[in-house]
Structure 1
Amino acid sequence: MSDPFITLWTAQERDARGLSHDELARRSRLLQRRVLRRDLIEYAAGLLVIFIFGRFALDAQAWPMRVACIVTIVGTCAVMWNLWRRRPHDDPAALARDAHGYLRSQLVEQRDALASVARWYLGPFMPGMTLFVGAMVHESAQRMPLAAALVIGAIGAGVIAATFWMVLGLNRRAARSLDQQIAALDAGRDPNQPE
């Protein structure tokens, strides 16, 4: 039978020690791999968007749809460039000096990128998506009553808005999770363990 006070004290002592340099370096590499995997998926999705909207632009008969597709492709390229600029930079010299500070700076960079996703990720898609919905209404109005075309446009705008809202919510939630990891790291606790 163990003394609950000694068990509590030893648990607190284990938390108070913090993480070793090797563990911090391992966590840093894990974060970099996770971000790289996420970015590779984003690049693949971006290439798919460019291919699909490129085909739409080539097949479209009306110029508003072609313009909308081209603007969407440009927005996708801007997002991919923004992802490239926000990727974690590997700095083994900094890691060797201060693993805690290095991991913390990586977490802060990723948190800031996720928290500002509306500006650098969703923003470049807005012009193309707005033009695409407008072009969709324009083309639909050639084949059906204007009211029906407007309903189709409203449904398309709703789907786009819901997708944007979901992306924004997921990124904000991920930013809050990184905030908690940063706070745990600052307090000398393991950032991947619940409080």
Structure 2
Amino acid sequence: MSDPFITLWTAQEHDARGLSHDELARRSRLLRRRVLRRDLTEYAAGLFVMVAFGWMAVAIPFWTMRIACAVTLLGTAIVMWNLWRRRPRDDAAALAQDAHAYYRNQLVAQRDTLASVASWYIGPTLPGMILFAAAVGHKSVQVMPLAAALAPIALVVVSSAAALWLVLWLNRRAARTLDEQIAALDAERDSTED
């Protein structure tokens, strides 16, 4: 499938400063492919979470677990919507930009998405995780001694915290990598303008 933006840029010779249009187009396609692959993975994970927690909400007869599952489902739906809103889009205004500016804007948008993952990704999932841990704790203390009930509570809390920390760390690391790419792209352009 041909990309009309890439075709337009490769037809323009005058705005290639440093990196060629072909190289910028290749990098832009690679970035879009990487983002699409990441998004598809997130959608698949979201679907898995929704099926699993939807099944638990129906199968588990305890109201505390059902509420926790419902909040988790809502949080996951919000995350999927946020991901959809932040997806790369073709913009008609991009036709007025040179290839360098368009590619830089793509990098900046992805960097901003990754850097703000705490608010749009972790934030919506946190209430469900907290309620799920509370529901596990509530049921555990009803059926076993307090000392034994702490193990499943700790497992839920520690695994949830570890997962959230990993998501935050990976996304911030990726955002720093994109910052470096943006700086290198700017330096490349500045060196060819002098």
- TM-score bin (small chain): 0.7 to 0.9
User: Counterpart amino acid of 2:171?
Assistant: N
Q: TM-score, normalised by structure 1?
A: 0.84
How far is 1:27 from its partner? 1.2
**In 1: Cα distance, 2:111 partner to 2:97 partner:** 23
The AA in structure 1 aligned to 2:88 is: P
Summarize the alignment of residues 3-42 of structure 1 with structure 2, pairs less than 5 Å apart.
Answer: 18-42=18-42
1:65 correspondence with 2:65: yes
Secondary structure, counterpart of 2:26 in structure 1 = helix
CA distance in 1 between partners of 2:44 and 2:80 (Å): 10
Q: Counterpart in 1 of 2:79?
A: 79
- Secondary structure of 2:188 counterpart: coil
CA distance in 2, matches of 1:179, 1:69: 37
Query: SS at 1:187's partner residue?
Result: helix
Q: Deviations over 1:34-64 (max 9, x none)?
A: 1011101100110000000001000111100
Instruction: Determine the structure 1 residue equivalent to 2:192.
Output: none
1:99 is matched with which residue?
Answer: 99
Alignment gaps of 5+ in structure 2: 1-16, 190-194
- Give the corresponding residue for 1:7: none
Q: d(CA) in 2 for partners of 1:111 and 1:76?
A: 22
TM-score for both structures, normalised by structure 2? 0.85
2:175 is the alignment partner of 1:175: yes
Give the Cα separation in 1 of the matches to 2:35 and 2:61.
40
Asked if the contact 1:54–1:69 (Cα under 8 Å) also holds between the matched residues in 2, the reply is yes
- Dislocated runs of 4+, deviation >2 Å: none
Larger Rg: 1
Distance 1:75 1:85 in 2: 15
Report if aligned partners of 1:78, 1:124 keep a CA contact under 8 Å in 2: yes
Q: Does 1:185 align with 2:172?
A: no
